[in-house]
Amino acid sequence: MKNVLTVENVTKTYGNFTALNKVSIAIPKGSVFGLLGPNGAGKTSLIRIINQITLPDSGTIYLDGKPLQLNHIQDIGYLPEERGLYKSMKVGEQAIYLAQLKGMSKQEAKKKLQMWFEKFGINDWWNKKIQELSKGMAQKVQFIVTVMHEPKLLIFDEPFSGFDPVNANLIKDEILKLRDNGASIIFSTHRMESVEEMCDYIALIDKSNKILDGKLSDIKHQFKENKFEVGLISDNKNIFNEVQEKFKVTNLNTNTENNEYKMVVTLNNNDTTKDLIKYLNSKAQINHFSEIIPSANDIFLKSVTNHE
């Protein structure tokens, strides 16, 4: 798969403080790439460098295989966490102005804006000033301004901040549609449930260093701990103790009325899933068996804790 953006060994310092230490990531085309990390990890510094707001001390960034240049700003859409619309300007006037800065003609911009305003049901906002809008309403306008020139690369920094659940879901659906239509997306957030729902790939930065990256499904596989949720039906009151003699068992939940036993079983180093199922079948009726897959939140916490 080709990459729309490649970051190679980027370092950025501010005085004696190192914000990024030889960080390398690659954003595959047509994907949502989660850029994750605790506060102060270096994510914002990297985003600012990609947007050419600041320059790296060393390292190289490529957009579509070419070194990043000033004219590439038209190929990037950036929605910062701290929004930056001009409060005293009218919505429509400001949106057209910002679209022209991205290389769109006034006529083209107006046509695109009418499409987006109609999609979001905000046609009557055209002549309102930003200061007349609620935070969530202004967020919608900023989102439209970010995406309307159809850039190759979109960067969303906490895009759901300020939205109620209904509008957060609306924006999430639009981001996924943009990906499905060919856009490549960098998605920076602390909301791990959004990472689960949206991200194809992730990178985790902590204390200026990249400590993890790759396809989210592959990373989940790497972090599995051979734990299984098991449900057993048995009239043997000692079933828990018997299973515990061979495997590590935790989180026992018993419904003695129905002879149901629910537990979490961890495989021994030399055992396979097949061994576990065979053993459980010899002891009871299995009515539930599923592997516990770590969540993005589990992976985040474990990686950052181990990095300390």
The pLDDT, as a whole number, for residue 1 is: 61
Residue type at position 212 = L
pLDDT tens-digit profile of 200-254? 999 999 999 999 999 999 999 999 999 999 999 998 888 888 999 899 998 778 7
- SS3 at position 164: coil
Structure-derived torsion over alpha carbons of residues 115, 117, 123, 125, reported in degrees to the nearest 10: -150
- Number of H helices and E strands in the chain, helices first, is 10, 14
Dist CA 297 CA 307 (whole Å): 15
The pLDDT, as a whole number, for residue 230 is: 95
The pLDDT, as a whole number, for residue 238 is: 87
Whole-structure pTM over 0.85, yes or no? yes
The residue assigned the tokens 């549609």 is: 177
The pLDDT, as a whole number, for residue 3 is: 95
- In sequence order, the 6+-apart residues with CB closer than 8 A to the CB of 274 are none
Task: Please give the domain boundaries of the chain with CATH numbers for all domains.
Answer: 3-221 (3.40.50.300), 225-292 (3.30.70.100)
Residues of the chain with pLDDT under 50: none
The pLDDT, as a whole number, for residue 256 is: 63
pLDDT tens-digit profile of 49-63? 999 999 999 999 999
Taking CB atoms within 8 Å and a gap of at least 24, the contacts of 222-225 are 223/294, 223/298, 223/299, 223/302, 224/291, 224/292, 224/293, 224/294, 225/266, 225/292, 225/294
